[in-house]
Amino acid sequence: MRQLLTDIRRTPLLWLLVFVPVVIYGERAWPEAGTLLFGLSVLAIIPLAALLSRTTESVAERTGDAVGGLLNATLGNLTELVIAITALQAGQYALVKASMAGAIVTNTLFMLGGAFLLGGLKFHLQEFNRAGARFQSSLLFIATIALLVPSMVATSDGRAGAPELQTLSTMLAVLLIGGYALGMLFSLVTHKEVFVSAVHEASEEEPLPMGTAIATLLGVTVLVALVSEVFVGSVEEAGEALGLSPAFVGFIVVALVGAAAEMTTAFSAARKDRLDLSVSIALGSASQIALFVAPVLVLLSHVVGPTPMTLDFWPGAVVMMLVAAITAALLTSGGRSAWFLGVAVLMVYAIFGLTLYILPPVQ
């Protein structure tokens, strides 16, 4: 417990935890102030995400390679999952889908681009392991394809509303989760030597004791759920007040907030000339959204949502995810990076954001 407090004191990002009680109090005190609550909940989620990522890592380290890897792989995007489940319960499917698509694009373009830029400002040319990056970007490409084929086919044939789309979405979700399970078997059991270095290097700090870690994990998840409720409840009002569409909020704001913790790690690794780690975090996180988080949400929508959710996205999101996956494949196949590559990737991200801001998709 003391170590947890030391951690918090040493990490400026975690000072934002002070906003957690403020948000929870604020929800009762000023239920009308949607925009304020929205801003406060964003500020509160960021440190919670960082804490969640930190404790997951601690538990993972204590439980040994296989179980730890499993935990890391499953809980790594827990923040996104909790926010999305809250939105699912509220029936805000546009927000859920936008945040899934946005998480894939943000992790790929913003995290990778930022790492290339920040690393490139410090080092003239950076090399990274092509074989590993190529493997992960192939996986991301296939995962993205898997996710978007239904919407491409449904949209291009003009049958976005067909009832069969529901059946297809549910079956695909099962298939994708099966693929994810095999992927874990691959990376944690049969071919762990290909992945082990990156995971190992990730943890530099002293791990928390097991009890504290598990207690924190549970407690923080509850807090994320509470704050997410405020966030999701206020997002529509805030969006209107700020002139932001649900698509923009989900795609850009939720995705950046949810990935804040991983980004800190990926960027600081790039500054230490360990681009392997940055690439692995960015692409791994994006694949996980496509192969695990999105299908789980489809299955959960049968239980917690007002109606089952389908796996089809609006056409612009399909284009953006596909572009992100191809960009990642092209950029990482070279195995070299310099600052301008980061600028170029961030530019594509900025163009996506600008397009969504000015021309949000018609719901």
Q: Report the residue number, 30 or 340, with the smaller CB distance to a copy of itself.
A: 340
Considering the complex, what minimum distance in angstroms separates the CB of residue 188 from a copy of itself? 11
Considering the complex, what minimum distance in angstroms separates the CB of residue 165 from a copy of itself? 7
Q: Kindly state whether residue 351 participates in binding a copy of itself, applying the rule CB under 8 A.
A: yes
Pull the structure tokens for residue 125. 């040319």
Radius of gyration of the chain (CA): 20
For residues 280 and 139, the answer to whether their CB atoms sit within 8 Å is no
Work out which of 6, 67, 156, 210 binds a copy of itself, going by CB under 8 A.
Answer: 156
CA–CA distance from 360 to each of 85, 166, 194, 244, 351 (Å)? Answer: 23, 25, 41, 9, 13
Q: Kindly state whether residue 39 participates in binding a copy of itself, applying the rule CB under 8 A.
A: no
What span, in angstroms and rounded, lies between the C-alpha atoms of 337 and 187? 26
Considering the complex, what minimum distance in angstroms separates the CB of residue 268 from a copy of itself? 23
Considering the complex, what minimum distance in angstroms separates the CB of residue 336 from a copy of itself? 7
Pull the structure tokens for residue 282. 């960015």
Q: Kindly state whether residue 363 participates in binding a copy of itself, applying the rule CB under 8 A.
A: no
What span, in angstroms and rounded, lies between the C-alpha atoms of 133 and 154? 32
- Footprint of a copy of itself on 171-190 (CB under 8 A): 171-172, 175-176, 179, 182-183, 186, 190
Work out which of 33, 70, 149, 177 binds a copy of itself, going by CB under 8 A.
Answer: 149
Q: Report the residue number, 29 or 182, with the smaller CB distance to a copy of itself.
A: 182
Q: Kindly state whether residue 22 participates in binding a copy of itself, applying the rule CB under 8 A.
A: no
Q: Which residue has the tokens 């960009």?
A: 327
Q: How many residues bind a copy of itself (CB under 8 A)?
A: 72
- Footprint of a copy of itself on 307-346 (CB under 8 A): 314-316, 318-320, 323, 326-327, 329-331, 333-334, 336, 338-341, 343-345
- The torsion region of residue 64 among left (phi > 0), alpha (psi -120 to 50) and beta comes to left
Closest CA relative to residue 348, chosen from 106, 19, 61, 34: 106
Considering the complex, what minimum distance in angstroms separates the CB of residue 339 from a copy of itself? 7
Work out which of 69, 76, 119, 150 binds a copy of itself, going by CB under 8 A.
Answer: 150
What span, in angstroms and rounded, lies between the C-alpha atoms of 256 and 277? 19
- Footprint of a copy of itself on 271-300 (CB under 8 A): none
Which H, E and C letters describe 71-91, residue by residue?
HHHHHCCHHHHHHHHHHHHCC
Q: What single string gives the DSSP state of each residue in 226-243?
A: HHHHHHHHHHHHHHHHHT
For residues 335 and 129, the answer to whether their CB atoms sit within 8 Å is yes
Q: Kindly state whether residue 91 participates in binding a copy of itself, applying the rule CB under 8 A.
A: no
Q: Report the residue number, 11 or 155, with the smaller CB distance to a copy of itself.
A: 155
For residues 92 and 363, the answer to whether their CB atoms sit within 8 Å is no
Work out which of 128, 141, 251, 313 binds a copy of itself, going by CB under 8 A.
Answer: 141
What span, in angstroms and rounded, lies between the C-alpha atoms of 69 and 74? 8
What span, in angstroms and rounded, lies between the C-alpha atoms of 179 and 290? 11
Work out which of 23, 100, 154, 253 binds a copy of itself, going by CB under 8 A.
Answer: 154
Work out which of 167, 302, 306, 307 binds a copy of itself, going by CB under 8 A.
Answer: 167
Site map 99..138 versus a copy of itself, x via CB under 8 A: -------------------------xx-----x--xx-xx
- Footprint of a copy of itself on 215-274 (CB under 8 A): none
For residues 260 and 47, the answer to whether their CB atoms sit within 8 Å is no
